[in-house]
Amino acid sequence: MIATASTDYPAPLVGEEVTYAYTGTGGTFSPDAWYDAVRRGRTFVSNGPMITLTVGHGMPGDEVRVGKAAKLHVHAQAWAPESIGAPKYWRLCRTGR
């Protein structure tokens, strides 16, 4: 599942939610790199706060296969402009089995 955003009527503001796509570190931004990142599922949707998430060495869009008794390290970080304030809570959901 790839996270993307859109606006539906009656939305408070058109374009209030934004799709962010991780295109890698360094280099020059290009629309092709952004579309490739979206196709790979390296996305998150936000109306303000920025979010990073990794599970083991996997990031959004990766399939992380582990054994039944495996322990996973989850690293999540969120931040936001001072004008809207830092996120106060998280909800981490999983899909699949």
Specify the pLDDT at position 10.
64
pLDDT of residue 39: 94
> What letters, b where the CB count within 10 A reaches 16 and e where it falls short, cover 23-49?
beeeeeeeeeebeebbebbbbbebeee
Q: What is the residue-wise DSSP string for 67-93?
A: -TT----EEEEEE--TTT---------
Distances (CA, A) of 41 to 17, 22, 28, 77: 17, 9, 20, 18
Query: Residue 47 is part of which domain span?
Result: 18-79
pLDDT (0 to 100) of residue 11: 58
Does 90 fall in a domain?
A: no
Answer whether residue 37 is part of any domain.
yes
Is 30 contained in some domain? yes
The pLDDT tens digits of the residues spanning 33-52 come to 999 999 999 998 887 788 88
- Low-confidence spans in the chain with pLDDT less than 70: 7-15, 95-97
Give the pLDDT confidence score for residue 45 in this predicted structure: 85
Tell me, yes or no, whether 64 lies in a domain: yes
5 in any annotated domain: no
* 69 occurs within a structural domain: yes
Predicted TM-score (pTM) of the model is 0.68
In a domain, 23, yes or no: yes
Residue 74 placed within a domain: yes
Number of folded domains in the chain? Answer: 1
